[in-house]
Amino acid sequence: MELFDIAFFVFAFITVVSAFIVVFSKSVIYSAFSLLFTFFGVAALYVLLHADFIAVTQVLIYVGGILVLMLFGVMLTNKIVNVELKTGTLHTIPALLLVSVVAGTLGGLFYSTWKGDVAPPPPPFESTTKTLGEMLMTSYLLPFEIASVLLLVALMGAAMFARRRTKT
């Protein structure tokens, strides 16, 4: 057990446990906050995978952007008097069955990729930011441009949707 392994288990534990809380917690607010920990845990896993740029992006966009949006959503769609903010669940038993089959299958499949020995870990990457930047500007230029247009469209669309309708 090296430092790398210990770090992995710590962060994997944080990620998985907080994800459990996200899904099983009754309170929306609790869920949202443990989602924060899940995102951080995943970001840490990215760091362990030597993907520093992705890790930073994860923190910036998920934590800084999406989670805040979610919280706004929670606030705006519940009446202030409804302090509890609890939500029910539906047909949990069949869903639980289905999901355990999914988890079992995927886990078994991934586990079976282990060939007994651990391959020697690949050499550490240099800082990935420069390489990623170059790739985005060369071989992935078209998807990159499309993504930027998509973001613009999503922004305008969201603004239009969320605008309060004036009664005509």
> Residue 33, class by beta-carbon neighbours within 10 Å (0-12 exposed, 13-18 middle, 19+ buried)?
middle
Q: Is 80 or 90 the residue whose CB approaches other proteins more closely?
A: 90
Counting every residue written for the chain, the total comes to 168
Nearest CA-CA partner of 133 in 47, 53, 46: 53
d(CA 164, CA 160): 9
Q: Is 70 or 81 the residue whose CB approaches other proteins more closely?
A: 70
Cβ–Cβ under 8 Å, residues 31 and 21: yes
| Residue 81 beta carbon to other proteins: minimum distance, rounded to whole angstroms | 14
| Residue 105 beta carbon to other proteins: minimum distance, rounded to whole angstroms | 7
Q: Is 165 or 168 the residue whose CB approaches other proteins more closely?
A: 165
| Residue 145 beta carbon to other proteins: minimum distance, rounded to whole angstroms | 12
Cβ–Cβ under 8 Å, residues 55 and 87: no
| Residue 52 beta carbon to other proteins: minimum distance, rounded to whole angstroms | 10
How many CA atoms, within 13 angstroms, populate the side-chain half-sphere of residue 55? 15
| Residue 125 beta carbon to other proteins: minimum distance, rounded to whole angstroms | 8
